[in-house]
Amino acid sequence: MARVTVLDSTLRDGAQSEGISFSVRDKMRIVSALDELGVDFIEAGNPGSNPKDIEFFREMRSQKLANAALAAFGSTRRKGVKVEDDEGIRSLLEADTETVVIFGKSWTLHVEKILRATLEENLDMIRETVAYFKSKGRRVIYDAEHFFDGHAANPDYAMASLRAAAEGGAECLVLCDTNGGSLPARIAELTKAAGAIGAPLGIHAHNDSGLAVANSLTAVEAGAVQVQGTLVGFGERCGNANLSTIVADLELKMKLSCLREGSLPKLAAVTRRVAEIANVGFDEGMPFVGLRAFAHKGGMHVDAVIKTPASFEHVDPESVGNERRILASEVGGRAVVIERVKRIDPAATRESPLVAQVVKRLKEMEALGYQFEGAEASLDILMRKAAGKYKPFFQLGHYRTIGEQPSGDREHCAQAMVKIAVDGVDEISAAEGDGPVHALDLALRRALERFYPNLSEMRLADYKVRVIDLPGAGTGATASTVRVLIESADSDDAWTTVGVSTDIIEASWIALVDSIEFKLIKDLERRFKPYLS
Amino acid sequence: MARVTVLDSTLRDGAQSEGISFSVRDKMRIVSALDELGVDFIEAGNPGSNPKDIEFFREMRSQKLANAALAAFGSTRRKGVKVEDDEGIRSLLEADTETVVIFGKSWTLHVEKILRATLEENLDMIRETVAYFKSKGRRVIYDAEHFFDGHAANPDYAMASLRAAAEGGAECLVLCDTNGGSLPARIAELTKAAGAIGAPLGIHAHNDSGLAVANSLTAVEAGAVQVQGTLVGFGERCGNANLSTIVADLELKMKLSCLREGSLPKLAAVTRRVAEIANVGFDEGMPFVGLRAFAHKGGMHVDAVIKTPASFEHVDPESVGNERRILASEVGGRAVVIERVKRIDPAATRESPLVAQVVKRLKEMEALGYQFEGAEASLDILMRKAAGKYKPFFQLGHYRTIGEQPSGDREHCAQAMVKIAVDGVDEISAAEGDGPVHALDLALRRALERFYPNLSEMRLADYKVRVIDLPGAGTGATASTVRVLIESADSDDAWTTVGVSTDIIEASWIALVDSIEFKLIKDLERRFKPYLS
């Protein structure tokens, strides 16, 4: 099987994304994730332009990678400076990576207007810089910035810049569509043309025309043997080529080998982990790895996919570590609900009264602004309630939250008081927190832990608020209905619950209670399982 | 200039997206938006499968469209039923649209396993259904569901299904990559093959392989004259082909005509409006139309793009109604800050002490968890403060919020009390609201309107909360630092402000105060402009 090497630039080009900023620790965690996935190169920063990156490369010296080679990134030497005297080049050497990626100019516009160098001088800069790192024992990948635009402006010069890098000893010449404006046909044509140089080629595409994935695949078809991108598609403007998509397309559809063998089923989890470390909301519609990638909602589709998965699935979800989801929704109808009710009551059929009841209850809740897609733990509790397989774990007597600014000698403070009862035994507790929801969360758990000590294992992993417009309701920003999603986790599982109210504290309370009850039900089930089998 | 017709299916295939549910009023607003943009066909629903759609088509009879033809969507007749007796067909007729889109099966798997019809019967169903609508004076577009997968399984049958529709009189045969699994080369090959039938062809692509845009463009290159998709890319699983990207690529790069002439500069605004009506977060990295599509952050890029826009922009942002943005961030450095400081102080240069001061302040705020990308009004105020061009509009004495459940005879309630002073004059006010932030918002505005009556024109348009992980901070869900974004608007402008705190009420307060001050500064500026010129 032919092999395409993969260079991930999440930590370099991806760090240029709006809203992304990596700490040194973030970077190290992302390196581990990418290494585990089995990419070939991790382009991890530009030590010449970013002081944080210098610290990172220092830290990395003691860390051994299983698969990937770490690469530092930097430009060709400055004009009029000897390569060994150039500060940027020195930082790159000091980064002490096996591989360096050197980028240079192929577009006369950039040479003349941005670098303000002569065309000949730029070719020298490319050749000398690459040769210098080769002489220092480094592997050198050469990124031909703006290759496609450069070729349009001056084809001979763009090709000459590639040849300069090849002469310097670059092991791969990477054709960069830096502005992301090229169409696949052009990528194919120029990749083939660059093949005449005789060096291995790579492709580095951006998504400004929505074509980064297609352009990458096209280049591979035309002879490129390295694909550069970022696993989650991070990158300036519209992002770099999304490697999670490309890798799956190359392996599953074009039958080429990219990742370390057997790694593809880790794709969904590792992609999500990288997005989490970057603290960026995950695009659940992302091909192959998103929660929605194999989710079915339309009634007809759901019927079909249950009968014959291939009827609406282009690949097996498990091949990329994802799973099929059947969504709860008015469009889906009973087929959807039955699939889920069966988890609570395996004997349920299309005609069960329970199914009709759940459908009715779902419609009522949706009218209030609930959506259970992505809040499956709340849906599970709703179904248990409808099925009579539920008993509350506690009764709320009363809660009160207070927020103040200023408060005594402090800038602001939040407190909550909660009174609950479990089997007739009252418990009252209070807590101070970072904000009223946190105070309420602490006070409620403090009260409950006396009765349910296993709650101490549970932690709240994420808290999301979305303002929703309900048709017909008078709305307006802070007065709008809000939907709160709380993601909770213990050492074994993660689950998400939902609450809706015009009052953010009340919406949080609803989601909080579901989350705690889900944990308690889950633990009970596990404890009693041995007695059932 | 060759012309490609555009069919938008936001209201039909797009409504299958997870998390999307349109009211009749939403649908009517989206029809207006798409009509204004100048698409040819608006596929607006399936009256046979969704009762809401019947009401919608009834409402639409009285609404005149300027450009687009409304189309109802439905399947071929059921097996063993006469076409005129089929309920779905009747609903389609009753929808009373000039155009109908009929979908039928081209994949033997679906004919045999899902429809459970014979192959011959399915061809009759296609031919008869199309012919029936033609006989009723309708224009008929035929969607060949699963055409590419169907062709892989049985090429002759897939082609026969197209011929049946052509025989029935379909004006366009649309090749659907329903599962989104096809690669561009395959799309090109089969589009060319289907050309032999002699009928106009269309393409309907899904994004499961990240290739929907490329596949659509490829089909056009291979002869297709209609592109189907959804303007924002909504659709089941990974979405339909994104029409905002495709239309810009076809017009700007392939020099074909799609939208009504002169409409392309409306692309960004209309795409955003459709996403807003759907109440779906806008992907700001979307090619052409996203806020990030022409945003520049990397220091080197920013320098270059200021010198020569073409150096990092593949098209002129204004051609699609978007604009260049220079981002505030540590990576961007001074070049970025200068561009923004100039709005406050036009004489600022790279060496101005003000620029250094703003850079320092930005770094401090970023360390606290602030991000000013997307909260330009707060950034504006920060710069004014640094420049000494700021005077607070009021002083906070004290606020207190109370949330309770249950409260008297009500389920829950929230109240706030605010004491402020303007030029030494105290004002105290209180309000009850739907949650503590709303109560605080109301109480603050009530207190301030006495001094600043123009605040009554301002409304809060959106309220977002994001939990952020600060490196080094002990975190955990409801105790985490939160970043609140408030979008405000009056009749002329919209602006966004940001607040960060571990206390959601305090974070909201900060963003609220910035928002009010921005409104007051803006109005002052406008009022005094005549005295300056």
The pLDDT of residue B332 is 44
Mean local confidence (pLDDT), A220-227: 98
The first and second tokens of residue A240, run together, are: 């770099």
Q: Which of A174-188, A361-375, B115-129, B421-435 has the lowest mean pLDDT?
A: A361-375
Cross-chain residue pair A210–B246, CB shorter than 8 Å: yes
Instruction: Give a yes or no: residue B472 inside a domain.
Output: no
Residue B433 CB coordination number (10 Å): 21
Greatest mean pLDDT among A450-464, B154-168, B353-367: B154-168
The pLDDT of residue A532 is 58
Minimum CA–CA partner of B438 in chain A: A478
pLDDT confidence bin for A240, thresholds 50/70/90: very high
Cross-chain residue pair A287–B478, CB shorter than 8 Å: no
Domain boundary among B249, B278, B307: B278
Question: Are A278 and A20 contacting, i.e. CB atoms less than 8 angstroms apart?
Answer: yes
Report the alpha-carbon angle B226-B227-B229, nearest 5: 145
The pLDDT of residue B102 is 98
The pLDDT of residue A176 is 98
Mean local confidence (pLDDT), A490-512: 87
User: Cα–Cα distance between A502 and A508 in angstroms, integer?
Assistant: 11
For B190-244, strand residue ranges (E) read: 201-205, 226-229
The first and second tokens of residue B258, run together, are: 């799609």
Q: How far is A179 from chain B (nearest CA, A)?
A: 5
Question: Are A188 and A218 contacting, i.e. CB atoms less than 8 angstroms apart?
Answer: yes
User: Cα–Cα distance between A399 and A419 in angstroms, integer?
Assistant: 6
Domain boundary among A438, A462, A496: A438
Helices A24-37 + A267-277 axis angle, to 10: 170
User: Cα–Cα distance between B62 and A87 in angstroms, integer?
Assistant: 71
pLDDT tens, position by position, A130-154: 999 999 999 999 999 999 999 999 9
Q: Give me the residue label for tokens 């809000």.
A: A482
Calculate what percentage of chain B has a pLDDT beyond 90. Answer: 54
User: Cα–Cα distance between B127 and B103 in angstroms, integer?
Assistant: 11
Minimum CA–CA partner of A486 in chain B: B477
Cross-chain residue pair B504–A308, CB shorter than 8 Å: no
Residue A357 CB coordination number (10 Å): 16
Mean pLDDT of all residues belonging to chain B: 88
Q: How far is B258 from chain A (nearest CA, A)?
A: 16
Q: What is the DSSP string of A457-480?
A: G-EEEEEEEEEEPPTTS---GGGS
Instruction: Give a yes or no: residue B74 inside a domain.
Output: yes
The pLDDT of residue B473 is 42
The pLDDT of residue B409 is 66
Minimum CA–CA partner of B508 in chain A: A478
The pLDDT of residue A332 is 44
| Helix, strand, or coil (residue A118) | coil
Whether A25 and A135 map to the same domain: the answer is yes
User: Cα–Cα distance between B209 and B216 in angstroms, integer?
Assistant: 13
Q: How far is A456 from chain B (nearest CA, A)?
A: 13
pLDDT tens, position by position, A12-47: 999 888 778 787 878 998 999 999 999 999 999 888
Q: How far is B504 from chain A (nearest CA, A)?
A: 6
pLDDT above 60: residue B19: yes
Cross-chain residue pair A437–B398, CB shorter than 8 Å: no
Q: How far is A416 from chain B (nearest CA, A)?
A: 9
| Helix, strand, or coil (residue B195) | helix
Alpha-carbon distance values, A60 to A38, A72, A98, A182, B1 (Å): 18, 11, 12, 36, 57
The pLDDT of residue A220 is 98
Cross-chain residue pair A477–B462, CB shorter than 8 Å: yes
- Of A335, A281, A290, which is closest to residue B17 (Cα–Cα)? A290
Whether B52 and B95 map to the same domain: the answer is yes
Nearest CB among B313, B405, B506 relative to A179 is that of: B313
Alpha-carbon distance values, B379 to B152, B221, B491, B516 (Å): 56, 46, 22, 14
pLDDT above 90: residue A374: no
Please, which residues bridge with residue A498 across strands?
A485
pLDDT confidence bin for A334, thresholds 50/70/90: low
Question: Are B244 and B321 contacting, i.e. CB atoms less than 8 angstroms apart?
Answer: no
Question: Are B56 and B44 contacting, i.e. CB atoms less than 8 angstroms apart?
Answer: yes
Cross-chain residue pair B285–A237, CB shorter than 8 Å: yes
Instruction: List CB contacts of A439: < 8 A, sequence separation 6 or more.
Output: A401, A414, A415, A416, A431, A432, A433
Q: Which of A345-359, A477-491, B136-150 has the lowest mean pLDDT?
A: A477-491
User: Cα–Cα distance between B147 and B149 in angstroms, integer?
Assistant: 6
The pLDDT of residue B1 is 60
Whether A176 and A295 map to the same domain: the answer is no
Whether A335 and A433 map to the same domain: the answer is no
Mean local confidence (pLDDT), B332-337: 63
What B403-410 contacts at long range (C-beta under 8 Å, 24+ apart), as own/partner pairs, is: B403/A399, B403/A400, B403/A401, B403/A402, B403/A436, B403/A503, B403/A505, B403/A506, B403/B435, B403/B436, B404/A398, B404/A399, B404/A400, B404/A401, B405/A396, B405/A398, B405/A399, B405/A400, B405/A505, B405/A506, B405/A509, B406/A398
User: Cα–Cα distance between A472 and A494 in angstroms, integer?
Assistant: 35
pLDDT tens, position by position, B439-449: 899 899 989 98
Cross-chain residue pair B18–A414, CB shorter than 8 Å: no
Instruction: Give a yes or no: residue A167 inside a domain.
Output: yes
Chain B CB contacts of A468 below 8 Å: 279
Helix (H) or strand (E) holding B466: strand B459-468
Chain B CB contacts of A329 below 8 Å: 18, 21
Q: How far is A200 from chain B (nearest CA, A)?
A: 23
Question: Are A518 and A497 contacting, i.e. CB atoms less than 8 angstroms apart?
Answer: yes
Q: What is the DSSP string of B99-123?
A: EEEEEEE--HHIIIIII---HHHHH
User: Cα–Cα distance between B399 and B147 in angstroms, integer?
Assistant: 64
The pLDDT of residue A337 is 76
pLDDT confidence bin for B247, thresholds 50/70/90: very high
Nearest CB among B16, B295, B478 relative to A438 is that of: B478
Instruction: Give a yes or no: residue B488 inside a domain.
Output: no
The pLDDT of residue B475 is 42
Q: What is the DSSP letter of B515?
A: H
The pLDDT of residue A435 is 82
Question: Are A407 and A369 contacting, i.e. CB atoms less than 8 angstroms apart?
Answer: no
Minimum CA–CA partner of A310 in chain B: B179
Nearest CB among B468, B478, B486 relative to A460 is that of: B478
Chain A CB contacts of B221 below 8 Å: 185
User: Cα–Cα distance between A450 and A530 in angstroms, integer?
Assistant: 26
Q: How far is A162 from chain B (nearest CA, A)?
A: 19
Whether B114 and B214 map to the same domain: the answer is yes
Cross-chain residue pair B214–A49, CB shorter than 8 Å: no
Helix (H) or strand (E) holding A440: helix A436-449
User: Cα–Cα distance between A363 and A383 in angstroms, integer?
Assistant: 13
Nearest CB among A25, A249, A462 relative to B477 is that of: A462
Alpha-carbon distance values, B482 to A219, A233, B210, B476, B507 (Å): 43, 25, 33, 11, 7
Chain A CB contacts of B417 below 8 Å: none
pLDDT above 50: residue B456: yes
Question: Are B78 and B86 contacting, i.e. CB atoms less than 8 angstroms apart?
Answer: yes
pLDDT confidence bin for A65, thresholds 50/70/90: very high
| Helix, strand, or coil (residue B448) | helix
Chain B CB contacts of A209 below 8 Å: 213, 245, 248-249, 253, 287, 314
Higher pLDDT among residues A221 and B530, named by residue: A221
CATH code where residue B315 lies = 4.10.430.20
pLDDT above 80: residue A304: no
Please, which residues bridge with residue B427 across strands?
B420
Whether B100 and B242 map to the same domain: the answer is yes
The first and second tokens of residue A92, run together, are: 């790159």
Q: How far is B2 from chain A (nearest CA, A)?
A: 18
Cross-chain residue pair A210–B503, CB shorter than 8 Å: no
Mean local confidence (pLDDT), B155-174: 98
Instruction: Give a yes or no: residue B448 inside a domain.
Output: no
The pLDDT of residue A343 is 77
- Of B144, B32, B51, which is closest to residue B95 (Cα–Cα)? B51
Cross-chain residue pair B109–A208, CB shorter than 8 Å: no
Mean local confidence (pLDDT), B92-104: 96
Q: How far is B465 from chain A (nearest CA, A)?
A: 6
**Pure H helices in B202-352:** 212-221, 243-248, 267-278, 299-307, 334-344
Minimum CA–CA partner of B327 in chain A: A18
pLDDT above 50: residue A399: yes
Mean pLDDT of all residues belonging to chain A: 88
The pLDDT of residue B459 is 79
Whether B11 and B90 map to the same domain: the answer is yes
Cross-chain residue pair B18–A242, CB shorter than 8 Å: no
CATH code where residue A133 lies = 3.20.20.70
pLDDT above 50: residue A432: yes
A–B CB contacts, 8 A cutoff, strictly below = 387
Whether B199 and B302 map to the same domain: the answer is no
**Pure H helices in B136-171:** 147-153, 155-168
Nearest CB among A25, A210, A434 relative to B249 is that of: A210
Higher pLDDT among residues A290 and B230, named by residue: B230
The pLDDT of residue A471 is 46
Please, which residues bridge with residue B71 across strands?
B43, B99
Greatest mean pLDDT among A490-499, B86-95, B369-378, B482-491: B86-95
Chain B CB contacts of A414 below 8 Å: 503, 505
Burial class, A408, CB count within 10 angstroms (exposed 0-12 / middle 13-18 / buried 19+): exposed
How far does CA A157 lie from the centroid of its chain?
Answer: 39
The first and second tokens of residue B482, run together, are: 């939160």
The pLDDT of residue B478 is 57
Whether B238 and B126 map to the same domain: the answer is yes
Nearest CB among A211, A249, A478 relative to B438 is that of: A478
Cross-chain residue pair A283–B287, CB shorter than 8 Å: no
Chain A CB contacts of B185 below 8 Å: 221
User: Cα–Cα distance between A370 and A437 in angstroms, integer?
Assistant: 20
Identify from B220, B459, B463 which residue to disrupt to test chain A contact, counting A C-beta atoms within 10 A and taking the largest count. Answer: B463
Cross-chain residue pair B436–A403, CB shorter than 8 Å: yes
Whether A85 and A234 map to the same domain: the answer is yes
Cross-chain residue pair A213–B214, CB shorter than 8 Å: yes
Pairing mode of beta strands B459-468, B481-489 = antiparallel
pLDDT confidence bin for B366, thresholds 50/70/90: confident
Minimum CA–CA partner of B412 in chain A: A506
Question: What does the buried/exposed string (b/e) look like for A389-403 if buried means 16 or more CB atoms within 10 Å of the residue's CB?
Answer: ebeebbebeebbbbb
- In angstroms and rounded to an integer, the radius of gyration of the C-alpha atoms of chain B is 28
Identify from B17, B30, B236 which residue to disrupt to test chain A contact, counting A C-beta atoms within 10 A and taking the largest count. Answer: B236
Minimum CA–CA partner of A403 in chain B: B401
Whether A398 and A347 map to the same domain: the answer is no
Chain B CB contacts of A412 below 8 Å: 501, 503, 505-506
Instruction: List CB contacts of A300: < 8 A, sequence separation 6 or more.
Output: B49
The first and second tokens of residue A304, run together, are: 């079909």
Chain B CB contacts of A19 below 8 Å: 371, 373-374
pLDDT above 90: residue B291: no
Pairing mode of beta strands A395-405, A413-422 = antiparallel
Chain A CB contacts of B49 below 8 Å: 299-300
The pLDDT of residue A408 is 63
Minimum CA–CA partner of B311 in chain A: A110
Q: What is the DSSP letter of B290?
A: S
pLDDT above 70: residue B479: no
How far does CA A255 lie from the centroid of its chain?
Answer: 25
Cross-chain residue pair B207–A293, CB shorter than 8 Å: no
Instruction: Give a yes or no: residue B230 inside a domain.
Output: yes
> Which domain covers residue A406, as residue numbers?
394-438
Q: How far is A528 from chain B (nearest CA, A)?
A: 30
Amino acid at A483: R
The pLDDT of residue B304 is 76
pLDDT above 80: residue A443: yes
Q: How far is B395 from chain A (nearest CA, A)?
A: 12
Minimum CA–CA partner of A407 in chain B: B398
Residue A321 CB coordination number (10 Å): 18
pLDDT tens, position by position, B376-401: 889 889 988 888 888 899 998 889 99
Whether B199 and B335 map to the same domain: the answer is no
| Helix, strand, or coil (residue B414) | strand
Instruction: Give a yes or no: residue A315 inside a domain.
Output: yes
- Of A353, A322, A323, which is closest to residue A337 (Cα–Cα)? A353
pLDDT tens, position by position, B33-65: 999 999 999 999 888 777 678 889 998 998 899
Higher pLDDT among residues A155 and B295, named by residue: A155
Instruction: Give a yes or no: residue A256 inside a domain.
Output: yes
Question: Are A467 and A481 contacting, i.e. CB atoms less than 8 angstroms apart?
Answer: yes
User: Cα–Cα distance between A159 and A177 in angstroms, integer?
Assistant: 15
Chain B CB contacts of A153 below 8 Å: none
What is the tally of structural domains in chain B? 3
User: Cα–Cα distance between A130 and A316 in angstroms, integer?
Assistant: 43
